[in-house]
Amino acid sequence: MQIIYIGNPILREVSKPVEKFDEELGAFVEELTKTMYEEDGVGLAAPQVAVSKRLFVFDDGSGPRVIINPEIIEKGTEEVTMEEGCLSIPGIYANITRPSWVKMRFQDVKGEVNEEVFEGYAGRIVQHEYDHLEGVLFVDYLSPAKKALLRPKLNNIIKGKLAR
């Protein structure tokens, strides 16, 4: 399983819902989780491995989790700014402001529906990964000035100097 980089159009698509909860899905989730750890990430969304499906895996330090067909149903009004990076945009880091928590409705690998509030580090990760399912990258939140400063690095990634 290989991670794709900014510039690949799949990263800008709104992902399609997962409809089949079967052994194939379980195997994909296992491989996605393995890839996340191999790449030293804390989250990895299906679109980042060129699969346009609404699912991601993450580990905030308490073990691997799987989120399928997520929907953000509530957000905190307080915002927190933290540095973010992304496996699909290697070497780029920036401070991003997001809600301090989100409440999400989602399915697990068996198709069971769950609701959970994610706050702190987990809240940050799930919002970042959820964005991938919507075709949004963390650099989209940057000011025009910050984007201009990063443009040469982003262009190198897009042009394929680091592309796979």
In single-letter form, the type of residue at position 63 comes to G
Question: Does residue 144 form part of some domain?
Answer: yes
pLDDT digits (tens, 9 = 90+) for 101-137: 999 999 999 999 999 999 999 999 999 999 999 999 9
Structural domains counted in the chain: 1
The pLDDT value given to residue 163: 46
The pLDDT value given to residue 161: 57
Q: Which residues participate in catalysis according to the annotation?
A: 129
The pLDDT value given to residue 158: 85
Is 128 marked as binding a ligand?
Answer: yes
In single-letter form, the type of residue at position 160 comes to G
Dihedral pair phi/psi, residue 23, rounded to 5°: -60, -35
Is 132 marked as binding a ligand?
Answer: yes
CATH number, residue 45: 3.90.45.10
The two tokens of residue 113 are 């529906």
Is 116 marked as binding a ligand?
Answer: no
Dihedral pair phi/psi, residue 18, rounded to 5°: -80, 130
Residues 32, 127: Cα–Cα separation, whole Å: 18
Whether 52 and 13 have beta carbons less than 8 Å apart is answered as: yes
Question: Does residue 164 form part of some domain?
Answer: no
Task: Put residue 69 in one of left, alpha, beta given phi > 0 → left and psi -120 to 50 → alpha.
Answer: left
Sign of the C-alpha dihedral, residues 35, 40, 44, 47? Answer: negative
The two tokens of residue 110 are 């068996």
What count of residues does the chain have?
A: 164
Residues 2, 55: Cα–Cα separation, whole Å: 16
Residues of the chain with pLDDT under 70: 161-164
In single-letter form, the type of residue at position 134 comes to E
Q: What domain range includes position 49?
A: 9-159
**DSSP helix/strand/coil, 78:** coil
Question: Does residue 2 form part of some domain?
Answer: no
Question: Does residue 23 form part of some domain?
Answer: yes
In single-letter form, the type of residue at position 12 comes to R
